[in-house]
């Protein structure tokens, strides 16, 4: 049994190190402006799909200002230029109660990040994080016309309830174990390394351009 558990852990680690995987970072308050720019950059339809209603710039600014990075868990996917192209909010209950074992998930992906499995990857990361923080049920509320979220929910085997053009999806999570803890830890470490490499490359490029003002010359 112990050998089997070690094998499962190594399998999860191997998957996490796959360079083709979507690398996801847990975000902090210092990323607030990147989150705002990501959400502001969404089309009107994408904003409606993310928040379930028409959402103005003012509402987005208010939402971003109110993100509780202490209570909730926030995840993001960055492109090579460190633009936030995928964003997920895992909201935990603020006060202890009977519903304290349920967390709500919301996600958005920029147009530039579509078709790369970013939404599904963010959902999986949020699910394993919720599992590792003793959440028993992962909940998603979305418009029934949100085909992407519908696909994610069905693929995950969530129980889905429909009413008046909206949907509520529920996923019962297994208790955390060594495999889930190791898998998330490795994923987080690999994503942090990837982000650091991208940041250093940008800084090196900027330094090079400042030292060589004629680097972009057509001569």
User: Taking the chain, what is the end-to-end CA distance rounded to the nearest angstrom?
Assistant: 67
Please state, in angstroms and as integers, the Cα–Cα distance from residue 209 to each residue in 83, 217, 218, following that order: 20, 11, 14
Q: Facing residues of 167 across strands?
A: 142, 162
Residues 6+ apart with CB under 8 A from 28: 69, 74
List domains and CATH numbers for the chain: 19-198 (3.40.630.30)
Q: What is the pLDDT of residues 164-217, one digit of tens each?
A: 999 999 999 999 999 999 989 988 998 888 888 888 877 666 555 555 555 555
Tokens of 59: 């509402």
pTM of the entire predicted model: 0.82
Mean pLDDT for the chain overall:
86
pLDDT at 6 over 80: no
Say if residue 56 is exposed, middle or buried (CB neighbours under 10 Å; 0-12, 13-18, 19+). exposed
Q: Where are the alpha helices (DSSP H) in 66-157?
A: 118-132, 147-155
């Amino acid at each position: 049994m112990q050998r089997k558990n070690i094998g499962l852990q190594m399998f999860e680690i191997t998957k996490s190190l796959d360079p083709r995987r979507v690398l996801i970072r847990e975000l902090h308050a210092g990323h607030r402006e990147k989150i705002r720019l990501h959400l502001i950059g969404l089309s009107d339809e994408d904003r409606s799909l993310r928040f379930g209603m028409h959402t103005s710039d003012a509402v987005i600014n208010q939402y971003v200002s109110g993100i509780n990075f202490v209570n909730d868990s926030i995840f993001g996917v960055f492109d090579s230029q460190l633009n936030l192209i995928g964003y997920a909010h895992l909201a935990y209950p603020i006060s202890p109660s009977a519903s304290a074992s349920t967390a709500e998930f919301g996600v958005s992906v920029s147009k530039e990040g579509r078709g790369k499995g970013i939404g599904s990857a963010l959902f999986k990361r949020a699910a394993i994080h919720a599992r590792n923080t003793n959440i028993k049920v992962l909940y998603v509320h979305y418009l029934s016309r949100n085909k992407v979220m519908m696909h994610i929910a069905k693929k995950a085997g969530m129980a889905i309830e429909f009413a008046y053009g909206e949907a509520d999806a529920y996923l019962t999570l297994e208790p955390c174990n060594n495999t889930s803890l190791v898998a998330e830890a490795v994923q987080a470490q690999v994503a942090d390394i990837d982000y650091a490499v991208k940041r250093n490359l940008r800084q090196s490029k900027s330094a090079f351009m400042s030292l060589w003002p004629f680097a972009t010359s057509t001569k």
